[in-house]
Amino acid sequence: TGGSCAAGGSIMARALLKIQRYFRRKPVRFFSFILLYLTAGSLVFLHSGFSGDSGQAGRDPLTLAENGPLSSESRGLGLIGRVFKDTRRAARFGPPWMKGNGQDGPAWVSAGSRSRGAKGKNTKETEDGRAKYIGCYVDDTQKRALRGVSFFDYKKMTVFRCQDNCAERGYMYAGLEFGAECYCGHKIQAANVSESECNMECKGEKSNLCGGANRLSIYRLELSQESARRYGSAIFKGCFRRPDNVTLALPVGAVIQNMSVDKCVDMCTEKEFSLAALAGDKCHCGFPTILFTLHEPEEEELCIHRCAGEDFESCGNDEYFVVYQTQVQDNRCMDRRFLPTRSKQLTALASFPGAGNTWARHLIELATGYYTGSYYFDGSLYNKGFKGERDHWRSGRTICIKTHESGRKEIESFDSSILIIRNPYKALMAEFNRKYGGHIGFASQAHWKGKEWPEFVKNYAPWWASHTLDWLKYGKNVHVVHFEDLKQDLFLKLKRMVLFLGLEVSEDRLLCVVGQKDGNFKRSGLRKLEYDPYTPEMRATIDGLIRTVDATLKQRKVTRVPEDYRPR
């Protein structure tokens, strides 16, 4: 079964898509795009569960409304969440005066391909019989038959949805297993077996078969023109000095005639590597490791060297490699499990709602290889791969426990905590969108312009501050992480979190996490608000609260609030 990783919220979706399309042919500029993207507050992480969402959104107005371009969580409340609602502890954080409201709400990105928007078309084509069933195949959890991205959905998997997701990412094959799991790949690395062994109904459509136990029903996808080009598309990572030992750092390489970015990316994708490094007429494939960390990008000019097969592309040279990230999933950080022995120490992953808690959970799960738990229960998160979600928060089987609580008693029940602090201006907007977004995932103009927004700010802004101050005051052994710093320097901040959790750091694993962070990023979730929703009075209040928090952080000798939102 696949794990799951997802995305943080953001603004500027459409603009970014456009920019990205524009820069596709000008890869050198792609770096600026990534920077812009990060500044916009959006990091996407996508593996299994969340890729599942993406295929549906945008298919037609109906499913779009259901899935929303934004929050898988808010949606889950309506759909899957319902199933568990009565039997499990409900979400119950909130300002002390509010009971039982909502869930965590970083804006999950769930729709849109990073390559382009013309997905509906693609979808249609698959539907019109562009995918051909080719047989029932053996699968093995240790050696997957299809090694691209994967996702699962125990409620709603359909053949079409799986095909759609794989096609969208440019894969050649889509395979369904166990009624609920979808695997994509560029080649099938297993033997076929008798049809009778693929005998499980799809969870989302009883009329179709979706493999069996360790059996895959595999389809070959006839890629449209659109997908074919997407297959060649990849994320520009930058210009990097050649590693000391190329064969060690990038184990597979070949000389390519009429070299182009697409040719090298295709080769590395075909060989299931997440990095394609171009060096003149040579193409090297590998993964980011301590031998090739991608931590120190060079001036892009150093890499400029016209590709033999593509006049407008730069193919690097012997000393400086142009590096792209392919769509191949880096599986080195995808495995997760529960703690082998129950921990007596309970570590909180505390944050104000809307401050990126779920994103942090993803990062921690990938970086440590252990599931995280939650003080609440959200069925949709469970179904998307947060297996620790169903544990009681005191089970001791999870590496840390998500919570938005801010009561002294709740805080004191943890032995240590990672406290995520996010710019309140951003967190409030994210939470407001989540709270009023309903199925579509965005608060409507009426909410922003009406009395809800000022009311919300009045209640929540002070809670942002008291939440933080309470954790600093009552929390034992608090490790402060600023959301903005985490985005800025994921590797280092994540490394510190892993150390704080008392685990050994595997740098290769961290590099895998960092690579996967934007490895599959998609259209960002938050619709850009056309105007500034904060009035001068609100700003005065919030700035005052930030100052108070900042002063306390300073006094506690921990990292102060980032400059970019520290009032001057």
Euclidean distance between CA atoms 450 and 435, whole angstroms: 15
CB of 216 to ligand NAG, least distance (A): 13
Q: With left for phi above 0 and alpha for psi between -120 and 50, is residue 557 left, alpha or beta?
A: left
Q: Is 32 in the site for ligand NAG (CB under 6 A)?
A: no
CB of 172 closer than 8 Å to CB of 178: no
Cα distances (Å, whole numbers) of residue 51 to 6, 72, 382, 497: 8, 11, 15, 26
Alpha helices in 193-299 (DSSP H): 225-232, 246-249, 261-270
Question: What sign does the dihedral 484-12-47-32 (CA atoms) show?
Answer: negative
Of 176 and 553, which has the nearer Cβ to ligand NAG?
176
Task: State whether the Cα torsion 337-250-511-57 is positive or negative.
Answer: negative
| CB 153 within 8 Å of CB 204 | yes
In the bound state with ligand NAG, the residue whose beta carbon lies nearer, of 244 and 564, is 244
**CB 138 → ligand NAG: shortest distance, Å?**
10
Kindly provide the b/e burial profile for residues 198-209, where b requires at least 16 CB atoms within 10 angstroms of the residue's own CB. Answer: bebebbbeeeeb
Q: For residues 193 and 304, which CB has a smaller minimum distance to ligand NAG in the complex? A: 193
With CB under 6 A as the contact rule, the residue among 32, 258, 459, 477 that binds ligand NAG is 258
Angle of helix 357-368 versus helix 490-500 axis, rounded to 10 = 70
Q: Which of 419, 384, 389, 469 is nearest to 108 (CA)?
A: 384
CB-neighbour burial class of residue 314 (10 A; exposed 0-12, middle 13-18, buried 19+): buried
CA 182/CA 223 separation, integer angstroms: 18
Find the shortest distance in angstroms from Cβ 173 to ligand NAG: 15
Question: Which CB, 258 or 477, lies closer to ligand NAG?
Answer: 258
Q: Please, which residue, 257 or 341, has the CB nearer to ligand NAG? A: 257
Strand order in the sheet with 150-152: 150-152, 181-185, 173-177, 215-221, 131-138, 192-193
Closest CB to ligand NAG among residues 15, 248: 248
Q: How far apart are the first and last CA of the chain?
A: 50
Token duo for residue 438: 């309903």
Return the SS3 of 479. Answer: strand
Residue 258 DSSP class: T
Q: How many residues bind ligand NAG, per CB under 6 A?
A: 9
CB of 167 to ligand NAG, least distance (A): 22
Does the footprint of ligand NAG cover residue 290 (CB under 6 A)?
no
Interaction mask 94-113, ligand NAG, x per CB under 6 A? --------------------
Stretch that binds ligand NAG, among 84-92, 187-195, 368-376, 427-435 (CB under 6 A): 187-195
Between 309 and 396, name the residue whose CB sits nearer to ligand NAG: 309
Shortest distance, position 194 Cβ to ligand NAG, whole Å: 4
Alpha-carbon span 235 to 333, nearest angstrom: 19
Instruction: State whether residue 228 is helix, strand or coil.
Output: helix
Q: How far is the CB of 135 from ligand NAG (least distance, A)?
A: 6
How many CB atoms neighbour CB 187 within 10 A? 14
Sequence-distant (≥ 6) Cβ neighbours of residue 363 within 8 angstroms: 45, 486, 490, 494, 497, 513, 517
Written as one letter, the residue type at 38 is L
Rounded to the nearest whole angstrom, what is the least distance from the CB of residue 283 to ligand NAG in the complex? Answer: 13
State the nearest-atom distance from the C-beta of 257 to ligand NAG, in Å: 4
**Shortest spacing between CB 276 and ligand NAG, in angstroms:** 18
Q: Pick between residue 251 and residue 297 the one whose CB is nearest to ligand NAG.
A: 251
C-beta of 135 vs 462, nearer to ligand NAG: 135
What is the distance of C-alpha 351 from the center of its chain?
18
Question: Should residue 192 be labelled a site residue for ligand NAG when binding is judged by CB under 6 A?
Answer: yes
Q: Report d(CA 497, CA 491) in Å as an integer.
A: 10
The token duo for 444 is 């409507």
**Considering the complex, what minimum distance in angstroms separates the CB of residue 197 from ligand NAG?**
9
Q: What value, to the nearest 5°, has the Cα angle with vertex 129 and ends 123 and 135?
A: 110
Q: How far is the CB of 134 from ligand NAG (least distance, A)?
A: 8
Pick 17 or 249: Cβ nearer ligand NAG = 249
Complex with ligand NAG: residue 247 or 477, whichever CB lies closer: 247
* Both tokens assigned to 234: 């990849």
Taking a C-beta distance cutoff of 8 angstroms, is the pair 349, 418 a contact?
A: yes
Of 125-164, binders to ligand NAG (CB under 6 A) are 135
Sign of CA dihedral 306, 512, 103, 404: negative
Tell which positions 193-212 bind ligand NAG, by CB under 6 A.
193-194
Nearer to ligand NAG, 142 or 257 (CB): 257
Residues 483-512 that bind ligand NAG (CB under 6 A): none
Provide the minimum distance between the beta carbon of 309 and ligand NAG in the complex, in angstroms, as a whole number: 6
Q: How many residues does the chain have?
A: 568
In whole angstroms, give the CA distance from residue 191 to residue 185: 15
Instruction: Pick one of 87, 141, 142, 257: the residue that binds ligand NAG (CB under 6 A).
Output: 257
Look at residues 454, 448, 460 and name the one whose alpha carbon lies nearest to residue 538: 454
Specify the residue, 309 or 454, whose C-beta has the smaller distance to ligand NAG. 309
Span of 114-122, 192-200, 419-427, 471-479 interacting with ligand NAG by CB under 6 A = 192-200
Contact track, ligand NAG, 230-249, x by CB under 6 A:
---------------x-xx-
User: What is the smallest separation between the CB atom of 196 and ligand NAG, expressed in angstroms?
Assistant: 9
Minimum Å distance from CB 508 to ligand NAG? 16
**Closer residue to ligand NAG in complex, CB, 193/254:** 193
Is 225 or 258 the residue whose CB approaches ligand NAG more closely? Answer: 258
Question: What's the min distance (Å) between Cβ of 244 and ligand NAG?
Answer: 7
Return the range that interacts with ligand NAG (CB under 6 A); candidates 189-197, 297-305, 389-397, 430-438.
189-197
> Contact residues for ligand NAG (CB under 6 A)?
135, 192-194, 245, 247-248, 257-258
